Amino acid sequence: MNPNKMNKQDILLIGGGGHCLSCIDVIEQGGQYRIAGIVDLPEKRGSFVLGYPVVGNDDDIARLAKDCPNFLITLGQIRSAAGRRKIYERVKLAGGNLPVVVSPHAYVSPRAQLDEGSVVMHHALVNSGAHIGHCCIINSKALIEHEARIGAFCHISTAACINGQVCVGEHCFIGSNTVIGNNLEITDHCTVAAGSQVLKNILRPGVYLGHPLRKIE
Name residue 82's amino acid: A
Mean of the per-residue pLDDT values of the chain: 95
Residue 36 CA, chain-centre distance (Å), reads: 19
pLDDT tens, 6-25? 445 899 999 999 999 999 99
Q: What is the pLDDT of residues 28-64, one digit of tens each?
A: 999 899 999 999 999 999 999 999 999 999 999 999 9
Q: For the segment 79-124, what is each residue's pLDDT rounded down to a tens digit?
A: 899 999 999 999 999 999 999 999 999 999 999 999 999 999 999 9
Sheet holding 107-108, edge to edge: 107-108, 125-126, 143-144, 161-162, 179-180, 197-198
Mean pLDDT of 135-142: 98
Predicted local confidence at residue 6, as pLDDT: 43
CB 140 within 8 A of CB 124: yes
**The pLDDT of residue 168 is above 90:** yes
Grade residue 182 by pLDDT with cuts at 50, 70 and 90.
Answer: very high
pLDDT at res. 10 = 96
Q: Which domains does the chain have, with CATH numbers?
A: 3-93 (3.40.50.20), 101-208 (2.160.10.10)
Is 44 exposed, middle or buried (CB count within 10 Å of its CB: 0-12, 13-18, 19+)? middle
What's the pLDDT score for residue 79? 85
